[in-house]
């Protein structure tokens, strides 16, 4: 890989600090069943517009409030959703951020977390649903694209839903 390609890839990959800032910014005042339906429906609408072969899942307090599987997605996407969601539930952080924190330490989640990789996946696509004054109460997860694209897809929908664009 050339230095130009390395720089381009590094520039496109968000830093741990950028990922942490996203998480601080994307906070709900409340999160209801209706909010889950509206957010999930918007994710499905965006996926259809882009012909993205994804599955979408929203959980709150251990209950699945929304799930959709679009054409081209497979049962494997549901397994990835569960594994990424468990990372959010355990760490209280976006699955991509958790993986980035391990990579920043010169290791990987799989090598250093001591968690079963068949149960947990610190790959992009699951983002915590955080409520002001409460904390993390659930997750919104997408699976079907490369991990950074899954992450960015969820972040884009959350920014739109919350009415906050990237800083």
Supply the DSSP symbol for 51: T
Burial class (CB in 10 A: 0-12, 13-18, 19+), 20: middle
Query: Residue 164: its pLDDT value, please?
Result: 66
Provide the angle, in degrees to the nearest 10, between the axes of the packed helices 147-162 and 95-104.
Answer: 130
Please state which CATH class domain 14-162 belongs to: alpha beta
Domain ranges of the chain: 14-162
Which residues of 45-125 form beta strands (DSSP E)? 55-60, 63-69
- pLDDT tens digits, residue range 26-71? 999 999 999 999 999 999 999 999 999 999 999 999 999 999 999 9
């Amino acid at each position: 890989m050339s230095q130009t390609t390395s720089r381009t890839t590094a520039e496109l990959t968000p830093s741990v600090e950028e990922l942490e800032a996203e998480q601080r910014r994307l906070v709900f005042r409340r999160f209801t069943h209706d909010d889950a339906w509206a957010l999930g429906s918007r994710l499905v609408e965006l996926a259809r517009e882009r012909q993205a072969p994804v599955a979408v899942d929203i959980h709150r307090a251990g209950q699945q409030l929304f799930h959709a599987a679009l054409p081209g997605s497979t049962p494997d996407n549901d397994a990835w959703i569960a594994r990424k969601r468990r990372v959010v539930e355990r760490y209280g952080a976006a699955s991509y951020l958790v993986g980035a924190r391990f990579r920043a330490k010169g290791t990987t989640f799989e090598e250093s977390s001591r968690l079963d990789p068949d149960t947990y996946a610190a790959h992009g696509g699951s983002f915590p649903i955080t409520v002001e004054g409460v904390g993390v109460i659930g997750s919104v997860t997408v699976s079907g694209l490369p991990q950074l694209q899954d992450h960015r897809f969820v972040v884009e929908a959350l920014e739109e839903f919350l009415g906050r664009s990237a800083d």
